[in-house]
Structure 1
Amino acid sequence: MAHTNDHPGEQAAPDPIRLIGIRETALSVDEVFRAVGDDAAGGVALFVGTVRNHDGGADVDALGYSCHPSAEAEMRRIAEKVVAGHPVRALAAVHRVGDLRVGDLAVVVAVACPHRAEAFDACRELIDDLKHEVPIWKHQSFSDGTEEWVGAC
């Protein structure tokens, strides 16, 4: 009798990184979800980061993201690290740059794995590492006329 992890679907896919991108146009949850479709995946974890109307107790009027030219390569490096540490069948991540409004999608990531716990773990690592390591900066304008730059998004 074969062990569960002996099934090919329990292993990482040969090329699980399906979509990595920095976009100046609106992001699509459907595009990211479709990109991670995989018949061997029993769980897909998807995270959507949106622009909120406040930060640190101040009302946010506008927000803009800008990035270093290496940002997309850094996203891929992080994706490769997540794939190496988890049985990822498929992974996708896109981040928006430019001027955004409250409610706009800023980042969408998804990970498909054989089981839900693995998908949640891999997705959390992916978004947390993207947030801390990718050179994307956020410029916020507040309703009181002040503004601030925030380090890596």
Structure 2
Amino acid sequence: MGEPILFLLILFIIGFIAKNQSLMIAVAILLIIKMVGMGEKWLPIVHEKGIHWGVTVITIAVLAPIATGEIGFRQLIASLQSLSAWIALLSGIFVALVAKGGVTLLATDPHMTAALVFGTIIAVSLFHGVAVGPLIGAGIAYMVMKVIEYF
């Protein structure tokens, strides 16, 4: 058994212990790709385009209530009449900008993914945190690194 398979199996076990379904599914898919002999063909494509695919899927999920009619102009206008909605709006803008930095960091420094995954696993398993994924974590790391570079 090669190191990549062993590493993925360990991550799967950690995901299972931490009850991180997303991690388990991701690892299972990668293991299947490797075990059926498609790793050399598919893994470079997933590595190159996977983050963008994920962002697209998340965007679809966020826009789904608009497509179903659950959220429309009326709800948007009504919601913007409360302070909470304005805070949510600004938070959404902030998080999207932070995540943008995460895309940049993961694209230019992909080994950060391992540290981000381990950080997420630690937070979920030990502190009952919520796995928000490596993108926002990378965005925060990117912001901190830029602040450090500034000084």
Tell me which interval the TM-score lies in, with the shorter structure as reference length: under 0.3
Greater relative CO, 1 or 2 (CA 8 Å, sep 6+): 1
Q: Return the structure number with greater strand share.
A: 1
Q: Which has the larger radius of gyration?
A: 2
Calculate the TM-score normalised by the size of structure 1: 0.25
Q: Return the structure number with greater helix share.
A: 2
